[in-house]
């Protein structure tokens, strides 16, 4: 009989606005057992991301999930201050959450991931929705790590669309291209969720109001957190919508939807310092007659998900 038990997931994140919704979905989904969280600098600092995560977990009533502090700086450059114009100075839209009583786990994010990989050997799924610095450090600390991981889902890159931090680069990869290259080169199955698909799935103002109207403090706070985010995306969409970057990756990691187009193709990251820095170069040649996998390649690039992800996402959170 197939294994229907929840998927143990380690979440590596830079808890900003969309990370918060991804976290809420992982907590709400019956298909997922969130067993640990590591934080990294990206949308905000690793320390602020850890604070945000602890406070959100406490508000949601999940105080036993370990939250470990990860890398403040990236592999080849220091943390540059994040994206306060997108996520607010505190990473969560300037919403002031009640401070959790729980403290950061004494382990580093790297050690937490390695420990969980032994505890859930062969079953643990890694979901990386920030810069991939912690994952690169974990691979360096324990080269045998991939052999204990069931799969990796990473939000990052842009295969056939422009970047969001440069003409060619998406923010998670641009912030630490060496780390992204290490993740993609490791001997494990990777599902890369790039801007090609995340920009096509949006949260609407109406759906934000559904969250805001919920009487539970955690769900209500999600609605508040997204207010500034929808303002940021207004010039791009022409109405109050926001892209579902990290939540879409969470939905796919949970196995809730099967991508419509997701070929297994080689992906190379430009790790230089020129105008191509952070570009994810996916070899999509030969796809004209439909998706075609390259033999022996373990990275699949999600290009389309036809089902309405936002409806499922909000409904799952509201029903939890």
Structure tokens at 255: 């196995």
**Distance (Å, rounded) from C-alpha 199 to C-alpha 212?**
23
Residue 270's contacts (CB-CB under 8 Å, 6 or more residues apart) are 168, 169, 177, 276, 277, 278, 279, 281
**Strand locations in the chain (E):** 7-13, 32-39, 67-69, 105-108, 124-128, 149-155, 190-193, 202-204, 241-243, 267-269, 280-282, 299-301
Sheet holding 124-128, edge to edge: 105-108, 67-69, 32-39, 7-13, 124-128, 149-155, 190-193, 299-301
Q: What is the DSSP secondary-structure string of 197-265?
A: HHTTSEEEHHHHHHHHH-SSHHHHHHHHHHHHHHHHHHHHHSSSEEE-HHHHHHHHHTTSS--SB--B-
- Whether the Cβ atoms of residue 24 and residue 34 lie closer than 8 Å to each other: no
Q: What is the DSSP letter of 67?
A: E
**Distance (Å, rounded) from C-alpha 163 to C-alpha 174?**
9
79-to-44, 113, 125, 144, 206 alpha-carbon distances in Å: 9, 22, 27, 28, 35
Instruction: List the catalytic residue out of 74, 125, 137, 245.
Output: 245
245 is catalytic: yes
Enzyme catalytic residues = 245
């Amino acid at each position: 009989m197939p294994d229907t038990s929840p998927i143990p997931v380690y979440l590596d994140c830079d808890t900003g606005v969309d990370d918060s919704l991804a976290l809420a979905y992982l907590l709400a989904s019956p298909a997922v057992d969130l067993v640990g969280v590591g934080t990294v600098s990206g949308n905000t600092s690793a320390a602020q991301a850890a604070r945000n995560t602890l406070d959100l977990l406490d508000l949601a009533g999940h105080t036993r999930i370990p939250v470990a502090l990860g890398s403040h700086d990236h592999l080849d450059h220091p943390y540059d201050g994040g994206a306060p114009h997108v996520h607010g100075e505190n990473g969560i839209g300037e919403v002031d959450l009640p401070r959790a009583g729980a403290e950061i786990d004494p382990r580093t994010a790297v050690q937490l991931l390695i420990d969980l990989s032994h505890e859930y050997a062969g079953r643990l799924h890694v979901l990386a929705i920030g810069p991939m610095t912690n994952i690169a450090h974990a691979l360096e600390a324990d080269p045998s790590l991939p052999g204990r991981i069931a799969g990796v889902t990473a939000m990052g890159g842009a295969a056939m669309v422009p970047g969001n931090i440069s003409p060619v680069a998406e923010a998670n990869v641009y912030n630490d291209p060496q780390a992204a290259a290490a993740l993609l080169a490791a001997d494990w199955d990777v599902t890369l969720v790039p801007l090609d698909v995340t920009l096509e799935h949006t949260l609407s103002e109406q759906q934000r109001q559904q969250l805001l109207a919920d009487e539970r403090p955690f769900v209500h706070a999600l609605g508040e957190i997204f207010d500034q985010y929808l303002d940021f995306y207004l010039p791009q969409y022409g109405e109050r919508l926001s892209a579902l970057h990290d939540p879409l990756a969470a939905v796919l990691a949970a196995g809730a939807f099967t991508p419509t187009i997701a070929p297994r193709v080689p992906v190379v990251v430009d790790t230089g310092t020129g105008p191509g820095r952070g570009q994810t170069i996916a070899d999509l040649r030969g796809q004209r007659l439909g998706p075609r996998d390259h033999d022996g390649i373990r990275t699949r690039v999600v290009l389309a998900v036809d089902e309405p992800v936002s409806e499922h996402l909000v409904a799952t959170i509201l029903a939890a």
